Amino acid sequence: MHVERLLGRALNSFDLPDALVERLDSALAHASSLHSSHHSAALHRVTYRHTYLLADGSSLTLWELVHNTGRDGREQHELYADETDVRLAASRLPAGLPDPEDDLDVDLDVELDVDLDADLELLGALLTRPVAPAPVVYEPDDSADHARRVLRRAENADRPGEAVAARLRGAFAHHIKQVFGRQCAVAGKDAGFTLYEHAFLLMDGSEMSVWEVEHTATPDGRHMCEVYEDEQAAREAMELRARVRGRVR
């Protein structure tokens, strides 16, 4: 169950009010969204918003903070009932020395894939005002350099080659979207898979995307990035790693 996994991996779940945890027992469905993301040489920090539809018709939101400040850079999970508290906790994380080539914080608000399609269907039927997907908005913000950094951090042997890099040097605007996120059981340990689309608007008016897989399904549990030219190849790579090294639950 999603709630049980969320509470089980959080270091501070015992700080949540008992009444709040008891209300979660009646959760009928849930939807998760990425609220903010920061990745630098010193710190990887992601905040998720988990909203639950309860049996009495009300909703309840938990805020999850995931960061790599554990021993040997291992991921740590924290849960908060209030957005102000999770922002405060995020601000207190050690950021280390800034790297001028690091990406800036990226604030996103996009729906994630979740465990149970049936739950999402129920949630959509019960909510009176379903939220329509946000249109793609390209941001002109050093997009060619952003593309260079995305390709540079890719560790997979079949990452995009020079032809793709050459086209992306003509990018003048871009948009980042998370299209998938899931926890997996890998060799008896939790690991995470996240899929991002980096969409670029090029000087000739055309559009182009590359697909970035971030995961911790590595022998030592470290964070790894892979980049692919199309979404299907990226999803097949995630499925292969989950099949070889673990079992998606």
User: Which string of DSSP letters, residue by residue, matches 105-173?
Assistant: PEEEEEEPP-S-HHHHHHHHHH-SSPPPPPPP--B-SSHHHHHHHHHHT---TT---HHHHHHHTTEEE
What pLDDT is stored for residue 146 in this prediction? Answer: 93
Lowest mean pLDDT among 83-87, 185-189, 207-211: 185-189
Contact 156, 219 (CB under 8 A): no
What pLDDT is stored for residue 248 in this prediction? Answer: 38
Contact 177, 195 (CB under 8 A): no
pTM of the model: 0.47
126 pLDDT higher than 80? no
**CA-closest candidate to residue 171, choices 210, 221, 225, 212:** 210
Measure the CA–CA gap between 113 and 199, rounded to whole angstroms. 19
Residue with tokens 């999850």: 64
